[in-house]
């Protein structure tokens, strides 16, 4: 039998039948489900899909938040040779329709009434859709298209175990396992085709780097439509036998983190920024003596973290200082944010400022930056434990080759590289050349193999003077200003660079309160503008050549959002949309140019 994610699930159920595989919050308790019951749920769902006519190679779709049903449905489809395709819950009805219609999925699993309404609004444009299956907690929908979770699972009784086993054992490593639809920063989403071997190889490699075991646990809360969360919630835990806790909702994540205290935690940069803002806010209200103690502990933590990043541990006086700092500060602060047991913390999907990384290093929380993309099953490079260089995205995943092309583009080759784009041979030829995945990202590799991301080819700004500028690092530098939340650098076809900036609400209000500012409309407050202007000229611009420096900026009245179409579901900036929505503000900055 082929080594696949479904086969690893069944092996966990055979070897550790009674060990907890996942947990769901019920009332005030976290209720476990064993590996035996987990595989039984997957088997029944697989049989139900066979009964409903799902064939090998046929996609099915999933639209919902992180729930056991999401994962069960996903693995069940893979187990019979079908290909699950996740859809972000923030997608609009037309965006949902695009994925369902493009994939030609006859089944879609949906979470609740809100997601049902999206399906219902576009049902006439999805002629191939036969059933919309609702998760357990969804209210009953009286419609021929709708099928409750229990009714769906009951269809599994129509199929024998032998029929399931025949499909399961026929899986091939090179067979399509899943479709990951990209978040669409530059156009309609593309369906990334990943094979069973892609997923199994990458999961094994990642588990080896992190040294993931059955003693580890993680909180599932980032969108499961994204390959990174699939690695953390599905493929990695199944490979290592680790337990997964499903967050109740996005709003409950802070509370759930404190309850679960996961040993493994993945957070996009925005999550770490919120942690930082929360800690800074609490510190600002502490007494002067407490603040002094905190700063001392951070100095000790920074020294300890530097050693640990190089694979060493503190000794002598530093070890004693660390023990004291841990007892007085770290052992209280870390559990308060849910990271009391965390031994491996990661970030990816977008750059994280070095200031944020250094802040958490001072708390002896090493944030391991990871780089990759859906086309490479998630991780391509990683700052592995004991081999961490802040400000880089680490070294190549073991078994993966990376290099920099003549034009500065990062290209990679390995068992994790995808099969191609679903129904898009032209895009496939552009991304895959002689077995090398052309990432579209720009980077540099140092003598020790650590990769630094310098920009993205398609996001290069070409000024009216013909200068090529990558905006991403400039934006990260601006976002390092404490009261700044988001920054978008503008300048394509223009004489100089400008920026659209949004405020970090908590930090900006804290800044205002310290100065006795009562104005609620902080983006129009002169003191706020003066502070940001000074920081740009003193902290940001000196890092860059004259042509790369920010000459003007505009404070936007609100943050950029997914709902307004300015961000992708993975919080990447849609530059074309931002330029359209804020065209008047942009033009005003160049009125005198």
Q: What mean pLDDT do residues 105-117 have?
A: 95
Contact (CB, 8 A) for 313 and 364: no
**CATH T-level fold of 5-266:** Rossmann fold (3.40.50)
Give the model confidence (pLDDT) of 391-421 as tens digits: 899 999 999 999 999 888 999 999 999 999 9
Bigger pLDDT: 513 vs 178: 178
Q: What mean pLDDT do residues 79-106 have?
A: 94
Q: Is the pLDDT of residue 291 over 80?
A: yes
Residue 25: DSSP 8-state: E
Q: Is the pLDDT of residue 591 over 90?
A: no
Tokens of 231: 């690695």
Q: Cα dihedral sign for 192, 203, 200, 10?
A: negative
Evaluate whether 5-266 and 273-456 have a shared fold: yes
Rounded to the nearest angstrom, the gap between the alpha carbon of residue 370 and the centroid of all alpha carbons in its chain is 10
Q: Which CATH superfamily hosts domain 460-589? A: ANL, C-terminal domain (3.30.300.30)
Residue 412: phi and psi, rounded to 5, are -145, 155
CB atoms within 10 A of CB 169: 10
Helix axes 161-169, 68-79, angle to 10 degrees: 70
* pLDDT score, position 185: 54
Mean pLDDT for all residues in the chain: 92
* pLDDT score, position 186: 55
Q: Is the pLDDT of residue 164 over 60?
A: yes
Residue 140: DSSP 8-state: P
Contact (CB, 8 A) for 168 and 80: yes
What pLDDT band is residue 187 in, cutting at 50, 70 and 90? Answer: low
* pLDDT score, position 366: 94
Tokens of 316: 């002598």
pTM of the model: 0.84
DSSP codes of every residue in 326-384: IIIIIHHHHHHHT-SS-SEEEE-SS---HHHHHHHHHTT--EEEEEEEGGGTEEEEE-B
Q: What mean pLDDT do residues 192-209 have?
A: 97
The Cα–Cα gap between 348 and 391 comes to 12
- C-alpha atoms less than 13 angstroms from C-alpha of 570 in its C-beta half-sphere: 22
**CA nearest neighbour of 178 among 131, 224, 232:** 224
Helix (H) or strand (E) holding 420: strand 420-421
The Cα–Cα gap between 326 and 100 comes to 51
Give the model confidence (pLDDT) of 452-480 as tens digits: 988 777 777 878 666 778 788 798 889 98
* pLDDT score, position 55: 96
Give the model confidence (pLDDT) of 344-375 as tens digits: 999 987 778 888 899 999 999 999 999 999 99
Residue 565: phi and psi, rounded to 5, are 80, 10
Highest mean pLDDT among 30-39, 265-274, 567-576: 30-39
Range from 161-175, 198-212, 530-544 carrying the lowest mean pLDDT = 530-544
Strand, helix or coil for residue 574: coil
* Burial tier of 426 (Cβ tally within 10 Å: 0-12, 13-18, 19+): exposed
CATH class for domain 273-456? alpha beta
Cβ-count burial 578-588 (b if 16+ within 10 Å, e if not): beebbeeebee
* pLDDT score, position 554: 92
Q: What mean pLDDT do residues 177-181 have?
A: 97
Highest mean pLDDT among 1-5, 14-18, 283-287, 522-526: 14-18
Q: Where are the domains of the chain?
A: 5-266, 273-456, 460-589
Q: Is the pLDDT of residue 203 over 90?
A: yes
Contact (CB, 8 A) for 591 and 571: no
Give the model confidence (pLDDT) of 491-535 as tens digits: 887 888 999 999 988 888 888 888 888 877 788 888 889 999 999
The Cα–Cα gap between 569 and 576 comes to 16
CB atoms within 10 A of CB 577: 16
Bridge partners for 396 per DSSP: 381
Rounded to the nearest angstrom, the gap between the alpha carbon of residue 465 and the centroid of all alpha carbons in its chain is 37
The Cα–Cα gap between 205 and 384 comes to 12
Tokens of 549: 């420096």
């Amino acid at each position: 039998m082929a080594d696949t994610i479904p086969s690893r699930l069944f092996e966990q159920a055979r070897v550790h039948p009674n060990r907890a595989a996942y947990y769901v919050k019920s009332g005030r308790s976290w209720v476990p489900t064993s590996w035996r019951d987990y595989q039984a749920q997957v088997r029944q769902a697989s049989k139900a899909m066979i009964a409903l006519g799902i064939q090998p190679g046929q996609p099915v779709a999933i639209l919902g938040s992180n729930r056991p049903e999401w994962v069960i449905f996903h693995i069940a489809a893979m187990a019979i040779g079908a290909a699950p395709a996740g859809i972000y819950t923030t997608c609009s009805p037309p965006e949902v329709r695009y994925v369902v219609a493009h994939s030609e999925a006859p089944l879609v699993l949906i979470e609740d009434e809100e997601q049902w309404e999206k399906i219902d609004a576009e049902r006439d444009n999805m002629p191939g859709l036969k059933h919309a299956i609702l998760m357990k907690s969804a209210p009953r929908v009286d419609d021929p298209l709708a099928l409750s979770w229990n009714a769906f699972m009951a269809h599994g009784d129509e199929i024998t175990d032998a029929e399931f086993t025949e499909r399961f054992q026929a899986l091939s490593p090179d067979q399509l396992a899943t479709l990951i639809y990209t978040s669409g920063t530059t156009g309609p989403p593309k369906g990334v085709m990943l094979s069973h071997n892609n997923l199994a190889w990458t999961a094994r490699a990642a588990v080896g780097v992190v040294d993931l075991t059955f003693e580890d646990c993680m909180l599932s809360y980032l969108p499961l439509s994204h390959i990174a969360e699939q690695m953390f919630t599905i493929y990695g835990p199944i490979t290592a036998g680790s337990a997964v806790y499903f967050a109740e909702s996005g709003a409950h994540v802070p509370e759930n983190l404190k309850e679960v205290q996961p040993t493994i935690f993945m957070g996009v940069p925005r999550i770490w920024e919120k942690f930082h803002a929360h800690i800074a806010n609490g510190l600002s209200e502490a007494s002067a003596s407490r603040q002094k103690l905190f700063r001392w502990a951070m100095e000790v933590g920074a020294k300890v973290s530097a050693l640990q990043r190089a694979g060493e541990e503190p000794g002598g006086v530093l070890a004693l200082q660390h023990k004291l700092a841990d007892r007085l500060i770290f052992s209280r602060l870390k559990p308060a944010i849910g990271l009391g047991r965390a031994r491996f913390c990661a970030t990816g999907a977008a750059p994280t400022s070095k200031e944020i990384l250094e802040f958490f290093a001072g708390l002896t929380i090493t944030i391991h930056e990871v780089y990759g993309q859906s086309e490479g099953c998630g991780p391509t490079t990683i700052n592995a434990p004991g081999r961490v260089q802040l400000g880089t995205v680490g070294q190549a995943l073991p078994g993966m080759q990376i290099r920099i092309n003549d034009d500065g583009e990062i290209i990679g080759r390995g068992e994790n590289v995808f099969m191609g784009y679903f129904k898009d041979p032209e895009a496939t030829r552009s991304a895959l050349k002689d077995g090398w995945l052309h990432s579209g990202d720009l980077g540099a590799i140092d003598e020790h193999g650590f990769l630094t991301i310098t920009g993205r080819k398609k996001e290069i700004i070409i000024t009216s003077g013909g200068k090529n500028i990558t905006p991403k690092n400039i934006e990260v530098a601006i976002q390092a200003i404490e009261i700044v939340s988001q920054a978008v650098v503008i300048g394509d076809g223009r004489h100089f660079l400008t920026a659209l900036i949004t405020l970090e609400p908590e930090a900006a209000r804290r800044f205002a309160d310290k100065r006795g500012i009562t104005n609620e409309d902080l983006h129009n407050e002169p003191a706020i503008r003066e502070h940001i202007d000074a920081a740009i000229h003193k902290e940001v611009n000196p890092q860059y050549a004259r042509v790369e420096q920010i000459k003007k900026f505009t404070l936007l009245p609100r943050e950029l959002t997914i709902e307004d179409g300015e961000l992708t579901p993975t919080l990447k900036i849609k530059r074309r949309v931002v330029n359209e929505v804020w065209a008047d503000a942009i033009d005003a900055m160049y009125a005198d140019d």
